[in-house]
Amino acid sequence: MNLRDLHYLVAVAELNHFGKAAEACHVSQPTLSAQIKKLEEELGVSLLERTNKQVLLTDVGRQIVMKSQQILDSVDEMRELALQHKDPESGTFHLGIIPTLAPYLLPLVMNAIKERFPNLKVLLYELQTPDILKRLPAGKLDAALLALPVEHSALKSIPLFDEPFFAAVPYKHKLVKQKQVSPTDLVGNDVLLLEDGHCLRDQALDLCRKVGADEVEGFRATSLETLRQMVASGHGITIVPQLAIGSTPSRMKQIRYLPFVNPKPSRTIVISIRHSSHRHYLALELGKIVGSRIEAVVGNKLID
Amino acid sequence: MNLRDLHYLVAVAELNHFGKAAEACHVSQPTLSAQIKKLEEELGVSLLERTNKQVLLTDVGRQIVMKSQQILDSVDEMRELALQHKDPESGTFHLGIIPTLAPYLLPLVMNAIKERFPNLKVLLYELQTPDILKRLPAGKLDAALLALPVEHSALKSIPLFDEPFFAAVPYKHKLVKQKQVSPTDLVGNDVLLLEDGHCLRDQALDLCRKVGADEVEGFRATSLETLRQMVASGHGITIVPQLAIGSTPSRMKQIRYLPFVNPKPSRTIVISIRHSSHRHYLALELGKIVGSRIEAVVGNKLID
DNA sequence: TAAAAATACTCCATAGGTATTTTAT
DNA sequence: ATAAAATACCTATGGAGTATTTTTA
């Protein structure tokens, strides 16, 4: 059976004339007749009663024509569906973002994204890197914003910006006197870190290990905010990415954020997408928006 | 687009694997791949995201697959519909019957018809010949029981039985003395007839004209039963077909029914059907039942 | 007899097959 | 390195055409 055959049948049923139906379908009368006949043979029932003067629908014929009409309508709906999704900047986009980035980056970029892609529904998922690396390759996410390294062969990662780390120290800490700190300054201090799963934990831990600084035992913060509270309460120092500092220096006055000396340690924020995805262009555009917003909001640059 | 393509798409969506899907569809993998690709091109959207390790549905893909499933289900329903009507002794059969036959014949045959065609829904339409000759060629009826002549080139009429006419005379009428009557006996009597449209009127009128008998002026009965009431009331005599007499002689004792001498005038009851109809066999079978029931019920024969 | 569907046949587009290459993990 | 989809290319089915015949009202 063929959708074309159903068109032919419906045309004959509407026009009650093989010749006119053939014309309406832009085929010759014998072609249409043959296809109708084949359809009847395939279904095993007579659909039409023909003479040279009139064409009559049989009982089954009438019912089959109605079904055909229904099927053809569904096909039209399918085509309509496809048409609605033809615009690559429409539809739904599932975007994962790591928790140490989401609350600080999103306020900066969401309006711009909405403006640039008015027809795109961007659904946000705040997830830790391991979770993202499960969901993104599995197709549950379309793309994700995370920090290098992204170790998954199915994914392609486009760097968006480098985000320098800062030392977060309590107001009364001895380091506050310095304009800048070196990683070695961490040694001897109680360094507080996030719990497992946060890539920021790994990055900060790397920095500590290089200089021999120690993580404080027995505590792992579940979020950057609780971590910051611990620092404010004088329980130690920590390392935070620049965006988390916030543009308003009035916020959380018990903490001072000290830049590192060159070469400034940092993390590279990327947008990751499956190699096989058909939405690379969209990811790229999203990345551009993020990059330009970072540049615009944070002053000049977070080094791109 | 092709229904086969939709099958391929649904198979891939279900199995997440082109090779397995191809196997399930009994085609080669390249064939299936090519068709899916064509479908995507025709719809103008990507339906699937493929790597060598996994096949993912896109957003549109998911929706198109659902539509496809719906369409394929409808096609199955269509096939089911056809299957249900494949039995020629099933479905609905619209049967027209003239009013001077219906009330007398139907009680004799309907049970037998129901028994012979348990899956056939026979819908009865009591209609005068002109009405039948409009509806039957137009396909509103499948067949009809009427009396010759049936003048319509699109129709084929199969004789079922000859139904002799009887003279219906009041109990006290002078003709009652005779065992038989001749058409000439009608002359000089008030002959009551049916109104226009009833073929029985034409047939009786023919008989009168041949011998020079006159129809009574100013009265035309709307049914055989009212006509019979008129005879019983002594307003004249009439001509009735045998089946109308009824098997119970106790019925309407004020009337005597007198047979005609040979050659007995009669009408030929036929079953008519369009030449183009696909249900000749069914009409023939119905005719057979009517014939055999007539023979069984009326004693020996109404001359077949 | 005339209008319309069916038949006969020829042709070509395309679905399908096999062998091979490319791709991505 | 390997599994799987894509590509290349050939084949053959069947949908479409024209010319003609058959049917039937």
What does pLDDT average to in each consecutive run of 10 residues of chain A (304 residues)?
90 91 90 91 90 88 93 93 90 94 94 95 96 92 94 91 92 85 88 92 90 87 90 90 72 82 92 92 94 79 48
Minimal CA–CA distance to B36: which of B52, B17, B53?
A: B17
**Rg, Å, chain B Cα set:** 32
- Distance measured from the CA of protein residue A39 to the C1' of nucleotide D14, in angstroms: 14
pLDDT band (50, 70, 90) for residue B237: very high
Assess A179–B contact: CB distance below 8 Å, yes or no.
no
Residues of B in contact with A274 (CB under 8 A): 49, 51, 56
pLDDT tens-digit readout, B76-102: 999 999 988 988 899 999 999 999 999
The confidence band for B251, taking pLDDT boundaries of 50, 70 and 90, is low
Enter the tokens of residue A112.
């711009």
What is the arithmetic mean of pLDDT over B143-165?
93
Q: Is B35 exposed, middle or buried (0-12, 13-18, 19+ CB in 10 A)?
A: buried
CB of A96 closer than 8 Å to CB of A141: yes
Other CB atoms within 10 Å distance of the CB of residue A78: 21
Q: What is the mean pLDDT of chain B?
A: 90
Report CA(A30)–C1'(C7) in Å, whole number: 9
For residue A304, give the 3-state DSSP assignment.
coil
Residue B148 has pLDDT above 90, yes or no: yes
Question: For residue B74, which residues of chain A lie inside 8 Å, CB to CB?
Answer: 67, 70-71, 74
Out of A35-49, A241-255, B130-144, B235-249, least confident range: A241-255
Cβ of B58 under 8 Å from any chain A Cβ?
yes
pLDDT of A155 reads: 92
What residues in A contact B54, CB-CB < 8 Å?
137, 139
Q: What are phi and psi of B296, to 5 degrees?
A: -70, -40
**Which of B51, B59, B83 is closest, CB to CB, to A154?**
B51
Residue type, A197: G
Given pLDDT bands bounded at 50, 70 and 90, which one contains residue B296?
A: confident
> What are the structure tokens assigned to B134, written together?
């409009």
Residue B52, CB, strand D, below 7 Å: yes
**Amino acid in the structure at residue B33:** S
Contact A165, A202 (CB under 8 A): no
Residues β-bridged to residue A273: A156
Exposed, middle or buried by CB within 10 Å (0-12, 13-18, 19+), for A6? buried
Residue A303 at interface with chain B, using a CB cutoff of 8 Å:
no
The predicted pLDDT at position B128 comes to 95
Tell me the C-alpha distance between A145 and B267, whole Å: 94
Give B286 CA → C2 C1' in Å. 36
Average pLDDT of B231-248? 85
Distance from CA of B291 to the nearest CA of A (A): 27
* Interchain CB contact of B45 with A (< 8 Å): yes
Q: Rounded to an integer, what distance in angstroms lies between the CA atom of residue B92 and that of residue A60?
A: 10
How many helices (H) and strands (E) chain B has is answered by 10, 9
**What mean pLDDT do residues B183-204 have?**
92
Q: Report the residue of chain B nearest A42, measured CA to CA.
A: B79
CB B283, CB B273: distance < 8 Å: yes
Chain B residue closest to A275 (CA)? B51
**Alpha-carbon dihedral angle through residues A213, A219, A221, A227, given to the nearest 10 degrees:** -60
- Smallest Cα–Cα separation from A179: which of A255, A259, A113? A259
Peptide bond into A149 cis (omega under 30): yes
pLDDT greater than 60 at residue B303 = no
DSSP secondary structure code for residue B184 in this structure: G
Residue A303: the pLDDT is 45
What are B17's two structure tokens? 């694997």
Residue B249 — very low, low, confident or very high, per pLDDT cuts 50/70/90? very low
The answer to whether A71 contacts chain B (CB < 8 Å) is yes
Answer whether 0.85 is exceeded by the pTM: no
Tell me, yes or no, if A45 comes closer than 8 A to chain B by beta carbon: yes
Q: A146 to chain B nearest CA, in Å?
A: 22
Q: Please, are residues B161 and B271 in contact by the beta-carbon 8 Å criterion? A: no
d(CA B82, CA B98): 33
Instruction: Quote the pLDDT of residue A304.
Output: 43
Residues of B with Cβ-Cβ distance to A2 under 8 angstroms: 2-3
A1 with B75: Cβ contact below 8 A: yes
Closest protein residue to D2 using CA and C1' atoms?
B52
CA B274, CA B157: separation in Å to the nearest integer? 9
User: Would an 8 Å CB–CB cutoff place A140 in contact with chain B?
Assistant: no
The tens digit of pLDDT for each residue in B258-273 reads 999 988 999 999 999 9
Q: What is the pLDDT of residue A8?
A: 92
Question: For A274, which of B1, B44, B49 is closest by C-beta distance?
Answer: B49
Report the alpha-carbon distance of residue B251 to residue B267 in Å, rounded: 23
Write out chain A residues lying below 8 Å of B83, CB-based: 44
Assess B62–A contact: CB distance below 8 Å, yes or no. Answer: no
Q: Which residue's CA lies closest to nucleotide C24 at its C1' atom?
A: B52
CA distance B159 to chain A (A): 23
A56 reaches B (C-beta below 8 A): yes
Q: What is residue B122's predicted lDDT score, i.e. its pLDDT? A: 96
Token pair, residue A129, equals 């890197």
Please check whether strand D approaches the CB of B151 to within 7 Å.
no
Lowest mean pLDDT among B191-200, B249-258, B285-294: B249-258
Residue nearest to nucleotide C15 (CA to C1'): B31
Q: How many CB pairs under 8 A join A and B?
A: 109
Distance (Å, whole) CA A60 – CA A269: 65
pLDDT at B301 over 60: no
Q: Which residue is nearest to nucleotide D8 (CA to C1')?
A: B30
Does B300 have pLDDT greater than 70? no
What is the sign of the dihedral through the CA atoms of A222, A224, A229 and A233? Answer: positive
Distance, CA of B96 to C1' of D23, in Å: 27
